[in-house]
Amino acid sequence: MFIDSVMFVEEIGVFIEPYKEGPAWHMARLMDRQVRPDSASAEHVLIAYQGAFRTDPNLTRTKEEAALLADSIYNVLTQDVSRITEIAIALSDDGSVASNSGNLGWFNDGEMVYEFNKAAILGNKGDITVIETPFGYHVIHVTDQSQPREKVRVAQIEVPIEYSAKTYDEYYAVASRFAGENDTREKFDQAVIDQGLDKREATYLREMQMDLPTFENTRQVIRWVYMDDREVGDVSPMFDIGGNLIVAVYTGSREEGVVPYDIMKERLVNNLLNERKADYIMEKMNAIGTDDLSAIAREFNTRVDTNRNLTFNSRNLPGYGTEHNVIGRIFTYNDGENTGIIKGNAGVFVVEVARIYAAPELEDYSSYTGAKMMDFTSRVGNNYPYQAILKNAEVKDYRRYFY
């Protein structure tokens, strides 16, 4: 959005007059500008008291007693901060202490409760502080922070653009007429061009799918597609779904089994072209004769991206999509090492590993085994046994006739 770049160059208090973006009008005012880290890591000891949020109802410690205990822990840690793990295991009321021994690891700015976030993000690396949150008193040791960056706080108002009853009636009549006059695919496609309409394609619709892409509550359209007498080229009646007027055309089906070549041809060609592009880029990278990120970025007129929160179980590489191979390769290297050229799905990557944070050894895995058991129980309760029976039995599914 244009407002992002505007707010980083304007003075605090500037007001952006109403502007239209998407289906709404927007207004904005720049409230504050700060230079602060994107993330921090910290370890802490939580001292809860009677009446604090999520506190054990059997806890009898008063707020005054909790404050004195937190102050005592603070005094100990200012003399020897290495004792925080020992103290957290012995005294912390944080439910996660059993698995992390008080070490919270890295978290993003804004991820923690306000006062905790403020102490970790706006303080300094190495700070030891005592703060109070709804959970009780925290004795916090800030272990690290990311490089500070400029950030802005913006107040925004969004006013949706809503059509009147008169407008709705007019478009309802237009959509009804469109459905009635364009009863073949050829007429449908030509009318879309002539009238400058927004035509969207929904491929690989499943029989019991609830919604079309980008639309909600469109089950009735999918039921129309799966009617027994449906033929390629059929045009639907007009559907009024939450104020969205939809006319659909049935363009084809795909039988279960091997996908015909003519359907997969475009995807196969695109995949092959991407493979050849990747090979070409890798050849040019090798010709540069260096694995220096800045030199490679200059040669390809691009920039060096920094990711501070990548984990081994990440599904996506931020900004580039699914890159399982790239992420897996990155985690085979050590601090300071360069990966060399890695071919990915969406591009060719060269990565320099700044730092690997090893997960701490755990003495108790009960929280993880408990989560796995809950996941298993949830799957059993959500029809997975019935799906297994359906897969291995000759069962015909007629649900589309009823809902």
pLDDT tens-digit map of 103-145: 999 999 999 999 999 999 999 999 999 999 999 999 999 999 9
C-alpha 296/C-alpha 287 separation (Å) is 10
Q: What is the pLDDT of residue 2?
A: 64
Q: Torsions phi, psi of 388, nearest 5?
A: -65, -40
Question: pLDDT for 154-165, tens place per residue?
Answer: 999 999 888 888
Task: Identify whether the C-beta of residue 42 lies closer than 8 Å to the C-beta of residue 111.
Answer: no
In terms of Cα–Cα distance, which of 199, 202, 400 is closest to 211? 202
What is the model's pLDDT at position 32? 92
Task: With 0.75 as the threshold, say if the pTM is over it.
Answer: no
Among the ranges 17-26, 44-53, 152-161, 341-350, which has the highest mean pLDDT value? 44-53
Mean pLDDT of 252-270: 81
More confident residue, 35 or 22: 35
pLDDT reading at 383 higher than 90: no
pLDDT above 90 as % of the chain: 52
pLDDT at 403: 82
Q: What is the pLDDT of residue 67?
A: 96
Q: Output the pLDDT for position 60.
A: 93
Q: How many percent of the chain have pLDDT more than 70? A: 100
**pLDDT at 206 exceeding the cut of 90:** no
Over 90: is that where the pLDDT of 337 sits?
yes
Would you state the pLDDT for residue 397?
A: 80
Cβ atoms of residues 44 and 57 within 8 Å: no
Checking if the pLDDT of 270 tops 80, the result is yes
Return the pLDDT at 203: 81
Picking from 17-21, 72-76, 146-150, 312-316, which range would have the lowest pLDDT averaged per residue? Answer: 312-316
Does 253 score more than 90 pLDDT? no
The pLDDT assigned to 5 comes to 72
Query: For all residues of the chain together, what is the average pLDDT?
Result: 89
* Predicted pLDDT at 266: 85
- The lowest-confidence range among 157-161, 179-183, 234-238, 242-246 is 242-246
The whole-number average pLDDT for the span 287-316 is: 87
Does the structure show a pLDDT above 80 at 250?
yes
Q: For the residues 89-105, what does the mean pLDDT come to? A: 93
**pLDDT in the model for residue 342:** 92
Asked if the model's pLDDT at residue 257 lies above 80, the reply is no
pLDDT for residue 23? 79
Predicted local distance difference test score (pLDDT) of residue 74: 97
